[in-house]
């Protein structure tokens, strides 16, 4: 059974780099009918917080990255780590070390002065020390002295590291707590992880982890270390570059399916295809298609992908998201409001759900100002007479529907002997604040009588005030 895992440290929100790793793990497990494990690596008690755990779980849920197992919490597995540390000591794969901080500092200085790589010299390795009550000791793993660690990384290719390069790393601190490399190894072993996909900031840990796995006679998983995501300046993506948290994109009106699509392409390709359904991602994904070089996060591209999804997803899905946003903004709407027409019109012209909602806000609340260009072009004295006439006729209209409104617009154009645009466009700017809307008769119907009349009146006042001679 193939098993992947996503193992975030809950020291902050889920950022796009983590989300991409999670997505790759998720896709691969789905493709091979394996299992996807979520493991919260919360052993750093000072930096891990319950809010971060929740933020990660929320983001995974928003993205739809469901897991087959977990979340496991490393803090709930301390006994197991201690048991394995004990086992390693008993089997001669680990030892107690009592080297003081001063000794280690001196050693490091000497090595640096001699232009050597700082590393533990194995001073306590063969002393057979036992812990004693008042003497602080750590536990170190006995890294093999001979030979080479070799693994074939799905992204980076063949990697060989000589054991002489690796020192005896600490697996338990002086307070007894296990270190990162130990807990990861124990978890990967116990959870039966067959494929480790993670950021390449961990590639240097891998030879050490493989050595510990071997000492435990555990199978060694396959590895794929994916390159970092960079910002547009070529530096590692960080807060400096703007939004990095997944939920910031949610709040900005991006769709989870679009963000996933963007992220999958950021580090993986399938020919030159850009837009993938989730099923296509699952079907086409392959570890060997992962990019070898780092990719840069490009907000314009993400916007474009989001726009593709806005335009092409089933209308009901977009309407649903629009409603959610209106609810969030606490804007009331009638249950029978004709969302489909309005949403379908504007979704072609925007990049995000938030922009989409902004462009139809006039349906739900009075606008504070007219679109400047539209007002300049249309709300001028020649519009006064058509607007006044429309106001009079619409005020008397009993049957408020698109047909009857259309008849009134037509009647005014005839009476005043002007083209449709000279009547319809002032009406449009008056009631929507801008120069783009669904057919004007439908729009006026949608807005209802009171709102429409009120807004026409305001436009007349606006023209009179701004163009008073
Ligand atoms: N917890 C580590 C991190 O968040 C990941 C460890 C791993 O994937 O092995 O960077």
Residues with CB under 6 A from ligand 1: 7-9, 41, 184, 198, 202
Q: Is residue 433 part of a domain?
A: yes
Q: Is residue 190 part of a domain?
A: yes
Instruction: Output the CA torsion 142→144→150→153 (10° steps).
Output: 10
Q: How far is the CA of 273 from the centre of ligand 1 (A)?
A: 30
Give 160-216 pLDDT, tens digit per residue.
999 999 999 999 999 999 999 999 999 999 999 999 999 999 999 999 999 999 999
Give 334-343 pLDDT, tens digit per residue.
888 889 989 9
- Give the domain extent around 442: 372-466
Do 377 and 344 share a domain, yes or no? no
Give 51-93 pLDDT, tens digit per residue.
999 999 999 999 999 999 999 999 999 999 999 999 999 999 9
How far apart CA 79 and CA 423 sit, in angstroms, is 79
Q: How far is the CA of 411 from the centre of ligand 1 (A)?
A: 71
How far apart CA 68 and CA 337 sit, in angstroms, is 40
**Contact between 224 and 154 (Cβ < 8 Å):** yes
Give 407-463 pLDDT, tens digit per residue.
999 999 999 999 999 999 999 999 999 998 889 999 999 899 999 999 999 999 999
Of 302, 336, 363, the last residue of a domain is 363
Do 84 and 168 share a domain, yes or no? yes
Best of 3, 6, 8 to mutate for ligand 1, by most ligand atoms within 8 A of CB?
8
How far apart CA 227 and CA 216 sit, in angstroms, is 29
| Predicted TM-score of the model (pTM) | 0.90
**Contact between 278 and 65 (Cβ < 8 Å):** no
Q: Residue 243: which pLDDT band, with cuts at 50, 70 and 90?
A: confident
How far apart CA 173 and CA 179 sit, in angstroms, is 7
Q: How far is the CA of 78 from the centre of ligand 1 (A)?
A: 17
Query: Number of structural domains, the chain?
Result: 3
CATH number at residue 163: 3.40.50.620
Residue 153 has pLDDT above 70, yes or no: yes
Do 346 and 413 share a domain, yes or no? no
Do 446 and 340 share a domain, yes or no? no
Do 170 and 88 share a domain, yes or no? yes
Do 91 and 216 share a domain, yes or no? yes
Q: Which atom of ligand 1 is nearest to the CA of 18?
A: 4
Residue 299 has pLDDT above 90, yes or no: yes
Percent of the chain with pLDDT over 70: 100
Chain-centre distance of CA 352, in angstroms? Answer: 15
Q: Is residue 462 part of a domain?
A: yes
Best of 74, 199, 229 to mutate for ligand 1, by most ligand atoms within 8 A of CB?
199
For residue 282, the tally of other CB atoms under 10 A from its CB is 16
Q: How far is the CA of 198 from the centre of ligand 1 (A)?
A: 7
Q: Is residue 407 part of a domain?
A: yes
Instruction: Output the CA torsion 186→188→194→200 (10° steps).
Output: -120
Do 189 and 82 share a domain, yes or no? yes
Do 91 and 200 share a domain, yes or no? yes
| DSSP string for residues in 211-242 | HHHHHTTPPPPEEEEEPPEE-TTSSBP-GGGS
Q: How far is the CA of 131 from the centre of ligand 1 (A)?
A: 30
Q: Residue 136: which pLDDT band, with cuts at 50, 70 and 90?
A: confident
* Helix runs in 10-65, H state only: 16-31, 50-63
**Contact between 37 and 67 (Cβ < 8 Å):** yes
Q: Is residue 326 part of a domain?
A: yes
Furthest-apart CA atoms within the chain: distance in Å: 107
Question: How many CA atoms within 13 Å lie on the side-chain side of 372?
Answer: 0
Cis status, amide bond into 173, omega within 30 of 0 = no
Do 155 and 214 share a domain, yes or no? yes
How far apart CA 96 and CA 209 sit, in angstroms, is 19
Q: Is residue 246 part of a domain?
A: no
């Amino acid at each position: 059974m193939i098993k992947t895992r996503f193992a975030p440290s809950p020291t902050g929100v889920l950022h796009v780099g983590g989300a991409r790793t999670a997505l790759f793990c998720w896709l691969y497990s789905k493709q091979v009918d394996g299992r996807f494990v979520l493991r919260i690596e919360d052993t750093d008690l000072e930096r891990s917080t319950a809010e971060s755990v929740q933020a990660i779980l929320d983001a995974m849920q928003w993205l739809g990255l469901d897991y087959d197992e977990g979340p496991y919490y490393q803090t709930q597995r301390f006994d197991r780590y201690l048991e394995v540390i004990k086992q390693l000591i008993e089997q001669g794969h680990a030892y107690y070390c009592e080297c003081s901080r001063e000794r280690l500092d001196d050693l490091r200085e000497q090595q640096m002065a001699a232009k050597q790589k700082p590393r533990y010299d194995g001073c306590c390795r063969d002393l057979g020390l036992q812990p004693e009550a008042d003497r602080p000791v750590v536990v170190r793993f006995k890294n093999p002295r001979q030979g080479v660690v070799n693994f074939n990384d799905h992204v980076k290719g063949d990697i060989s590291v000589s054991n002489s390069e690796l020192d005896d790393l600490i697996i338990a601190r002086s307070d007894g707590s296990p270190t990162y490399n130990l807990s990861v190894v124990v978890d990967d072993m116990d959870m039966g992880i067959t494929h480790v996909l993670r950021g390449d900031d961990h590639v240097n840990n891998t030879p050490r982890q493989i050595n510990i796995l071997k000492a435990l006679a555990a199978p060694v998983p396959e590895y794929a270390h994916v390159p970092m995501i960079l910002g547009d300046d070529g530096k590692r993506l960080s807060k400096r570059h703007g939004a990095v948290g997944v939920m910031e994109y949610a709040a900005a009106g991006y769709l989870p399916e679009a963000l996933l699509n963007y992220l999958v392409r950021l580090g993986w390709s399938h020919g030159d295809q850009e837009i993938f359904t989730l099923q296509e991602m699952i079907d086409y994904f392959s570890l060997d298609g992962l990019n070898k070089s780092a990719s840069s996060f490009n907000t314009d591209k993400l916007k474009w992908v989001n726009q593709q999804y806005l335009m092409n997803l089933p209308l009901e899905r977009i309407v649903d998201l629009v409603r959610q946003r209106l609810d969030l903004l606490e804007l009331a709407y009638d249950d029978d409001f004709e969302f489909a027409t309005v949403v379908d019109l504007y979704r072609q012209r925007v990049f995000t759900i938030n922009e989409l909602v902004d462009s139809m806000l006039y349906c739900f609340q009075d606008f504070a100002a007219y679109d400047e260009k539209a007002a300049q072009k249309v709300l001028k004295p020649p519009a006064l007479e058509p607007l006044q006439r429309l106001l009079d006729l619409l005020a008397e209209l009993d049957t408020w529907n698109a047909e009857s409104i259309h008849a009134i617009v037509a009647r005014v154009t005839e009476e005043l002997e002007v083209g449709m645009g000279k009547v319809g466009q002032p009406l449009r700017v008056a009631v929507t604040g801008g120069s783009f809307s669904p057919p004007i008769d439908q729009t006026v119907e949608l807005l209802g009588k009171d709102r429409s009349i009120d807004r026409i009146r305001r436009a007349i006042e606006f023209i009179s005030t701004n163009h008073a001679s």
